[in-house]
Amino acid sequence: MNALDSLIEALKRLPGVGQKSAQRMAYHLLQHDRPAVHRLADALTAAVERIHHCERCHTFSETSLCSVCADATRDARLLCVVETPADQAALERTGSYRGYYFVLLGRLSPLDGVSTRQIGAAELLQRAAESGVEEVILATSFTAEGEATAHVLAEALRARGVRSTRLARGVPVGSELEFVDLGTIAHALSDRR
């Protein structure tokens, strides 16, 4: 495989990037922005060498503990469980949560061979048993796999006497009901407060 084909194949590994998009990116970078190619290559190399998982919550970090886990001003009574570091970053951007996190690095998917062991359920249960944790917030996605993950974790936490809650579902802010999908409306009605 020549260098151009190898670049295109590498770009295709990115989520949402197919053959045509990868070709467009490769041609653009090589034809119009060669300095960006070097910056991108350097940034990728640095990321692979320096970024690891936080020892405590499993998010991405350049140090053994991420900045959230190292922050003693956070509320140790709250532990929010998310599927990915991107989910954690999204919650942090809201500025409305001041507890700690546990990143599963996936969700249950029996068809793909992903079990509770692969997502770190045992580590989560151990972390939730730490003194001071009063509530575990299950902030997994609302896909079938995310719902199954939340259910299995909630049952395991309940069996150990740990209180768990689930993110609320409902109508998005600023939306009009006639354009909201029926499943969302149904959940909003049943989970109303």
- Give the pLDDT score at 62: 97
Q: Which helix or strand (DSSP H or E) is residue 123 part of? A: helix 121-128
Mean pLDDT, 10 residues at a time, over the chain (193 residues)? 93 96 96 92 96 96 97 96 96 94 91 86 92 93 92 95 90 85 84 73
- Give the pLDDT score at 7: 94
Cα separation, 35 vs 133, whole angstroms: 49
**What is the 8-class DSSP label of residue 119?**
T
Q: Are 99 and 80 in contact (CB under 8 A)?
A: yes
- Tokens found for residue 186: 């149904």
- Tokens found for residue 18: 């197919």
| Global confidence as pTM | 0.84
- Give the pLDDT score at 131: 79
If phi > 0 it is left, if psi is from -120 to 50 it is alpha, else beta; for residue 176 that is: beta
Cα separation, 161 vs 158, whole angstroms: 5
Q: Are 103 and 86 in contact (CB under 8 A)?
A: no
